[in-house]
């Protein structure tokens, strides 16, 4: 039986899986992606992960490897053009470099694009022809699907919804601009907002839980307190929802999709911000475009690896 390996390389985690033509994950592992800072070591570690999972699959034929990378990708050439969260890979031709090492076809796209592919193939966006996938993780990504195909734009930079400006005079983003959605609705943005008000009177519970140490603040800690009813942490997630709703309204007013699917690590706390996002979206979107749209969460946290594998399986006619 044939299979493909799918990789989801984000700013925090590297997820890798073996996926069959029916979308079944037969092997899966997660590792930290930000262990190294130089390109050669990053590539070497990526190749090691691919070989490890290939060795774990017996009696099946590997068609190729697909990867989604956090950043702007020139998909035709396989070059990472820009990646604020993985700067060590900027300018790297991963397609040629890794395929030469592995003697195996290797394809690359933006991580939010492969997330959208995965959700469109066998997830929450299945059977949708026009939708947008939004990933809320270390950064914020977006994958735009028009008439069943990923829209890449003129140089592979389409769908960067994380850099929609939601607060013109706002916090600086890793991209260098100010007030981007990523600076507010990512896991790093959530932590930043908590740090900014860490010594305010309202943040007493957060300070107590973190022993007055800002470095101990994580999205999970903030979510835990919000679920216990802490007003300060609830307000942080409400800000995430408000800014996400503004951006979703912009997307829908511009593209008129039928569905928006939200994934990424922060989506595990969607119950703390998605209702706020929907309310803000409804307030700002045009009635015709926003009336019937569905806003849902991803069906699985493996959508990225499944979509990366789909990219390969589809290219070689396995599905």
- Residue 38: per-residue pLDDT: 80
The residue with tokens 């995430």 is: 240
Q: Residue 34: pLDDT band by 50, 70, 90 thresholds?
A: low
For the chain, give the percent of residues with pLDDT over 70: 99
Give the residue among 37, 253, 10 at the shortest CA–CA distance from 111: 10
Outline where DSSP puts E strands in the chain. Answer: 2-9, 13-19, 25-32, 61-69, 72-74, 79-82, 106-110, 131-136, 140-146, 149-150, 259-263, 294-297
Lowest mean pLDDT among 29-38, 90-99, 218-227: 29-38
Lowest mean pLDDT among 31-35, 55-59, 75-79: 31-35
- Residue 89: per-residue pLDDT: 86
- Residue 168: per-residue pLDDT: 96
Residue 215 pLDDT exceeds 90: yes
Q: Does domain 2-119+302-315 have CATH number 3.30.420.40?
A: yes
3 phi and psi, to 5 degrees? -155, 165
* Class of domain 127-297 as given by CATH: alpha beta
**DSSP structure class, residue 315:** H
71 CB-contact burial (10 Å; exposed 0-12 / middle 13-18 / buried 19+): buried
Residue 273 pLDDT exceeds 90: yes
Answer with the residue of higher pLDDT: 310 or 35.
310
- Residue 86: per-residue pLDDT: 82
- Beta-bridge partners for 150: 145
Q: Residue 197: pLDDT band by 50, 70, 90 thresholds?
A: very high
pTM (2 d.p.): 0.93
- Cβ neighbors of 232 (< 8 A, separation 6 or more) are 197, 200, 202, 203, 204, 205, 206, 225
- Residue 35: per-residue pLDDT: 59
Residue 211 pLDDT exceeds 80: yes
Residue 96 pLDDT exceeds 70: yes
Residue 95 is encoded by which pair of tokens? Answer: 């397609």
- Beta-bridge partners for 296: 261
Crossing angle of helices 231-255 and 219-227, in 10° steps, is 110
List, as one string, the DSSP characters of 179-209. Answer: SBTHHHHSHHHHHHHHHHTTTSGGGHHHHHH
- Residue 36: per-residue pLDDT: 63
- Residue 88: per-residue pLDDT: 84
Alpha-carbon distance of 177 to 169, in angstroms, equals 10
Q: Do 139 and 110 meet the contact criterion of CB atoms below 8 Å apart?
A: no
Answer with the residue of higher pLDDT: 45 or 305.
305
Q: How wide is the angle at C-alpha 108 spanned by C-alphas 107 and 112, nearest 5°?
A: 140
Looking at residues 183-207, what average pLDDT do you find?
97
Residue 208 pLDDT exceeds 80: yes
Looking at residues 76-82, what average pLDDT do you find?
89
57 CB-contact burial (10 Å; exposed 0-12 / middle 13-18 / buried 19+): middle
Question: Domain map of the chain by residue range?
Answer: 2-119+302-315, 127-297
Q: In whole numbers, what is the pLDDT of the chain averaged over residues?
A: 94
């Amino acid at each position: 039986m044939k299979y493909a390996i799918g990789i989801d390389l984000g700013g925090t985690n590297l997820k890798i899986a073996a996926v069959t033509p029916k979308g079944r994950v037969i092997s899966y592992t997660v590792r930290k992606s930000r262990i190294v800072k130089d390109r050669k070591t990053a590539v070497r570690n990526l190749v090691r992960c691919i070989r490890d999972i290939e060795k774990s699959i017996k009696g099946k034929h590997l068609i190729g490897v697909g990867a989604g990378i956090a950043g702007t990708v020139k998909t035709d050439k396989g070059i990472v053009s820009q990646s604020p969260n993985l700067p060590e890979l900027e300018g790297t031709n991963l397609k040629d470099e890794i395929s030469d090492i592995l003697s195996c076809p290797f394809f690359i796209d933006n991580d939010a694009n492969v997330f959208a592919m995965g959700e469109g193939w066998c997830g929450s966006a299945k059977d949708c022809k026009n939708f947008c996938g939004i990933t809320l993780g270390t950064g914020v990504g977006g994958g735009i699907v028009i008439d069943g195909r990923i829209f890449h734009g003129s140089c592979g930079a389409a769908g960067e919804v994380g850099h929609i400006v939601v607060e013109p005079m706002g916090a600086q983003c890793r991209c260098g601009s100010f007030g981007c959605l990523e600076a507010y609705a990512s896991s790093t943005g959530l932590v930043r907002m908590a740090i900014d008000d860490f010594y305010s009177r309202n943040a007493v519970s957060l300070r107590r839980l973190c022993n007055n140490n800002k470095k101990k603040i994580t999205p999970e800690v903030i979510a835990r307190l919000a679920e216990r009813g802490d007003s300060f942490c609830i307000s942080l997630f409400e800000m995430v929802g408000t800014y996400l709703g503004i951006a979703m309204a912009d997307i829908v007013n511009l593209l008129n999709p039928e569905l928006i699917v939200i994934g990424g690590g922060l989506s595990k706390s969607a119950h703390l911000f998605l209702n706020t996002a929907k309310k803000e979206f409804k307030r700002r979107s045009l009635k015709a475009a926003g009336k019937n749209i569905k806003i849902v969460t991803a069906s699985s946290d493996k959508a990225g690896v499944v979509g990366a594998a789909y990219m390969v399986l589809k290219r070689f006619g396995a599905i």
